[in-house]
Structure 1
């Protein structure tokens, strides 16, 4: 994992490489490695732009269709910065020595899909190109096994899955096994979660930073949680916990998200730039209390520096970058520097974390 200026000069963007291959080939046929994929613990599933997948591979990734009508299955995915739209296809995925077979993935801006995104999908900006997203795709490895879950099985959901044919797209149900899924759960072993490990940077930032995405929890000698005395926060199905900051409690509305490039929370007493980045005259030492649904609690300290000053350094990796956000507390990438952060997938368990979903962390 690398945080640097690549590929589009964005700050605090952790990038990994993912290899995709013909489904059912044990990741051995028509494989292509896609670099500069954003690591996102706040979402679930692999999403790649069609334009970054070589045609020799893309043409072998089976497009999902509705069995009763043969309509193409498409998906809308909405993020804080905008929305994506494209087909659902099957692929084998290889990361390091781990292989996940026949995984439903999202191919964004797929030219084989003639229909435009439905109006209920079009929230904020259309992230229709890698440049607009700032990455060639998104690798979602949060605590959910699928991106929609049971709600899309029991009934069609707005801004989720659609059956597209005859120039129209209609919201449709989607079986769990067909939903875009967290690739980690498809591994033969080391499939109960991930650990995000990122080296610390100085308070003025670093031109680059490096880290590791470790697969599995308590399954190998290098992914041990048991015995670390780390606090384990059981989360809701989305990976959310409760945070209290400055007298305000965000019940089940705080989360740990590598896909967010700052610490986002509400504090009107801190000066802001025109783009809501915090710009205090001197670095502030703050803290928030985090509580899991299992009542485990811990105080998490963090710093907020002047964003204008940080950006002027020309660096790209910052552990003290924050911005104003009301309604939730987002422990974005600055939280991860100098820590090992564990994400236990729902429906799995580990010796140190118990039953997922959970989040835990220890200092490096």
Structure 2
């Protein structure tokens, strides 16, 4: 989730949470257009449904899943409850849920501190649209037939945590309620096995916190890595939507790559691009070359459009592009193994798109200072594979890598 841009109900467009100071909530605009269903086996034991709809409030192109959370060490059989509307994010790593979104049937007392003491461990994590702050607790997580046991997760705004977010890690707007985020949490299933190196951990006592280095059993993990099987990556499958958008879209999140009959990469003819450890690669775009790294190119389902720097006409808020007519664009991606691939996408007038009242768009694009963020707009009409670092698959080889193929 490196970039989110919100559509405010009255004031027009706001440039991300940092500029908007929040957003989301209810939206009274009627939805129109088609409801599209993604390809794949949504009822398989290694897959779950993904929905793009108005559930995120005013934000468009927000893929959401449901996550079942249970008491730690129960094999997902005790004190279980399901949290809906969790943002599916290939740009981050780990599960983060708002404490207020966890039903009372899963009391926080059933989720122990990962440090094994009565004093909580807390984490501050920065996203492109703000920061999260909360405790690090252990839980059993279940999605379809997959179970991650004793998984360290972040519980955002845990009421048992008396300490406020340290100033040293507050880099933007605090993502402190589901309304601010537009979701009940974030499911990070990106390239890395954990959020090591991209988050800051603290040991807290009362209102005081001291920065610490977590152990391997305390660090927040990509849940997929903790599955007994189907743990080498994910596939996100969405059917194409009309160029004017759709009121909603339904896709599939498949766990594992080349581990079962419904998650093959080998033999599909997909474009396979090895990346750095955080899913980045180099890109040449709009006459500029960007190196691999945070300023390069990446695939991020948690970004609600395609974001880049361009002289294209912008909307009045300077957040989304609104050219007079749709513009066809292309970029050349260069993978970590020097393989190159050309990606093509369209940029439509964002004002016209939003006026439809739709929520799923394949041609929504917005402004960024550098690089190319291939967000949710790029995922429609494709199977997009995310191979995890340190894991292998028959078709993709050693992760991390991204692959995609038209469906």
- Shorter chain as denominator, the TM-score bin is over 0.9
1:263 is matched with 306
- Give, in angstroms, the shift of residue 66 of structure 1: 6.9
1:255-334 → structure 2 map (5 Å cutoff): 255-334=298-377
Residue by residue over 1:291-323, the C-alpha shift from the partner in whole angstroms, topping out at 9 and shown as x without a partner, is: 110111111000000001100000000000011
- Give, in angstroms, the shift of residue 273 of structure 1: 3.0
Q: Which runs of 5+ in 1 are unaligned?
A: 153-158
2:111 is matched with 61
Give the counterpart of 1:237 among 274, 277, 290.
277
Give the counterpart of 2:233 among 193, 198, 211.
193
> Alignment partner of 2:96: what SS?
strand
> Alignment partner of 2:324: what SS?
coil
Figure out how many residues of one structure are paired with residues of the other and give that number.
354
1:176-187 → structure 2 map (5 Å cutoff): 176-187=216-227
- Give, in angstroms, the shift of residue 166 of structure 1: 4.0
Q: Is the 8 A contact 1:273 1:279 kept in 2?
A: no
Establish whether residue 359 from structure 1 lines up as the match of residue 399 from structure 2.
no
Establish whether residue 250 from structure 1 lines up as the match of residue 290 from structure 2.
yes
Establish whether residue 2 from structure 1 lines up as the match of residue 51 from structure 2.
yes
Q: 1:46 to 1:288 in 2, by over 3 A?
A: same
> Alignment partner of 1:125: what SS?
coil
Give the counterpart of 1:106 among 154, 170, 173.
154
TM-score with structure 2 setting the length: 0.85
Give the counterpart of 2:123 among 59, 75, 88.
75
- Give, in angstroms, the shift of residue 55 of structure 1: 2.9
Give the counterpart of 2:181 among 129, 133, 142.
133
- Give, in angstroms, the shift of residue 93 of structure 1: 0.5
> Alignment partner of 1:59: what SS?
helix
Distance in 1 separating the partners of 2:67 and 2:366: 30
Q: Which runs of 5+ in 2 are unaligned?
A: 1-49
Distance in 1 separating the partners of 2:313 and 2:195: 35
Distance in 2 separating the partners of 1:7 and 1:298: 33
> Alignment partner of 1:309: what SS?
helix
1:155 is matched with none
> Alignment partner of 1:243: what SS?
strand
2:140 is matched with 92
Q: Is the 8 A contact 1:49 1:130 kept in 2?
A: yes
Distance in 2 separating the partners of 1:311 and 1:268: 21
Q: Is the 8 A contact 2:114 2:217 kept in 1?
A: no
- Give, in angstroms, the shift of residue 59 of structure 1: 2.2
Give the counterpart of 2:208 among 168, 188, 210.
168
After superposition, the CA RMSD in angstroms is 1.3
Q: Is the 8 A contact 2:51 2:249 kept in 1?
A: yes
Give the counterpart of 2:94 among 42, 45, 49.
45
Distance in 2 separating the partners of 1:311 and 1:231: 32
- Give, in angstroms, the shift of residue 269 of structure 1: 3.8
> Alignment partner of 1:177: what SS?
coil
Residue by residue over 1:46-70, the C-alpha shift from the partner in whole angstroms, topping out at 9 and shown as x without a partner, is: 0000001123312201122376xx6
